[in-house]
A and B are shown apart, each in its own frame.
Chain A
Amino acid sequence: MELSLVVVLVIGLALFFDFTNGFHDTANAMATPIATGALKPKLAVALAAVLNLVGAFLSTEVAKTISGGLIREGDGGVLITPEMIFAGLIGAIVWNMITWLLGLPSSSSHALFGGLIGAAVVGVGFHAIDAGVLLSKIVLPAFFAPVIAGVIAFIATKLAYRVAGRGSLEGYKRGQIFTSSLVALAHGTNDAQKTMGVITLTLIATGAQAAGTGPEFWVIATCALAIALGTYTGGWRIIRTLGTGITQVTPPQGFAAEASTTATILASSHLGFALSTTQVASGSVIGSGLGRDRKAVRWRVAGRIAMAWLITLPASACVAGLAELVARMGTIGIVLDALAGVGLILTMYLISRRNAVGHENVNLRPVPVSPVPEANIVEEAR
């Protein structure tokens, strides 16, 4: 099978997107057990990585459309070219890297859809987008997800404290291991599939694979490995935000939050109302913080996260639109795009090294206690 340059680049970028998806979403499952000390940080990300790897192999029924109906693709619709997918992936990756650098839990799926939308609008025009689907599948659920999860986690946390009192916290830590493991497994079955879908549909579109066939084994295996590796790398900046930034998570609260996240994700994926895992997990943490103590939530952090959710889709759409403009110049444009993408990723990585967050300092939160920078201290979280 002969693959053109752009197809090879799409596969490479899709796998890198899968990797960013992994480290972006480690926090959904593992931020609260790490914050409460239920799991040692390194063990937590290793567990999440293994579960993502297993999950990716468990469920390989890929979507029939790359964008899940957001773009009018397929028979009688617009033609999605590999160049557009390439540009869309650049937008999604760049936005995932920016939000990671800022430590903000934002939805990787929204970044991917935003990127594809941006590329399709520039490549084909606004008629390529199904605005109704955009509103009912992305925009409105983005409001509902954190609210549902937040209310449930609030009630669950209240119940936990009411039933068991405020002592005896250790027992909850063991429970947290199970609930967060379920989140990690569910994540593997859901998110690796998206990348498999992107690669498989690209291969089909370029005639390298027969239409109507499922992902080839090498696609499944590389996607599973990419998401597991990303998960193991552990997006520590986002784990810190979710575990200690929004509110300091205690064991009963962490257990209630993860139980709410698990219940909401499983219900949403089986009862037909899709919700973003990231938004559910963040809503749960906020709700459980309020359930413990009304003053325990740092609304400034929550506000920043909400802002990131609002601009995720348009922002990655803009980057992708720009990339698509350049990509239309032909091979030279694709190469320019690829170089610019690599340059941006490297720059953000280098910036992150200036105040690196890793497994050793993930639970330490820098607290500005004074407007004078020198007076700021680092607080031991627990």
Chain B
Amino acid sequence: MIDWAAFFVVAAASLLGACAVVVLFALGVRNAARRPWLARTCWVLCGAAVLFGIYLIVPALHA
């Protein structure tokens, strides 16, 4: 009745996605003062994650 496979896929994908973005962003915050280039790289990657989010939300982009 419960689609456990889908459930675990959703849980794993959410965990990976959220943790990846949070760790990247936190690395950016940590290195903002001392290694600005690294911080900027991290934030650009976070920006890419946001764009991927928009791609997923807008049906016209992935349909």
Q: What size tier do the contact residues of chain B reach?
A: 35 or more
Say whether A172 faces chain B, with CB atoms less than 8 Å apart.
yes
Q: Are B21 and A159 in contact (CB under 8 A)?
A: no
Task: Report how far A263 CA is from B18 CA in the complex, Å.
Answer: 6
Task: Report how far A162 CA is from B27 CA in the complex, Å.
Answer: 10
Say whether A302 faces chain B, with CB atoms less than 8 Å apart.
no
Q: A135 contacts which chain B residues (CB < 8 A)? A: 1
Tell whether A259 pairs with B56 under 8 Å between CB atoms, given A164-B30, A268-B10, A271-B10: no
- Give 1 or 0 for each of B20-58: 1 = CB within 8 Å of chain A CB: 011101111110100000000000001100100110111
Q: How far is the CB of B45 from chain A (nearest CB, A)?
A: 12
Tell whether A259 pairs with B7 under 8 Å between CB atoms, given A163-B27, A164-B27, A189-B57: no
Tell whether A156 pairs with B22 under 8 Å between CB atoms, given A144-B7, A172-B29, A266-B53: yes
The total of chain A residues at the interface (CB under 8 A) is 50
With both beta carbons as reference points, the residue of chain A lying nearest to B62 in the complex is identified as: A270
A-B contact count (CB 8 A): 128
Task: Report how far A263 CA is from B25 CA in the complex, Å.
Answer: 15
Tell whether A58 pairs with B29 under 8 Å between CB atoms, given A156-B19, A159-B23, A160-B22: no
Q: Are B3 and A152 in contact (CB under 8 A)?
A: no
Q: A172 contacts which chain B residues (CB < 8 A)? A: 25, 29
Q: How far is the CB of A26 from chain B (nearest CB, A)?
A: 18
Q: Are A171 and B13 in contact (CB under 8 A)?
A: no
Say whether A132 faces chain B, with CB atoms less than 8 Å apart.
yes
Task: Report how far A264 CA is from B19 CA in the complex, Å.
Answer: 11
Within 139-198 of A, Cβ neighbours of B (below 8 Å) are at 140, 144, 148-149, 151-153, 155-157, 159-160, 162-165, 168, 171-172, 175, 178-179, 182, 185-186, 189
List B residues at the A interface (Cβ < 8 Å): 1-3, 6-7, 9-11, 13-19, 21-23, 25-30, 32, 46-47, 50, 53-54, 56-60
What are some 21 contacts across the A-B interface (CB < 8 A)? A58-B57, A58-B59, A58-B60, A59-B59, A132-B1, A135-B1, A148-B14, A151-B15, A152-B19, A157-B22, A159-B22, A160-B22, A163-B26, A168-B30, A171-B29, A179-B21, A259-B21, A263-B18, A266-B53, A271-B6, A272-B6
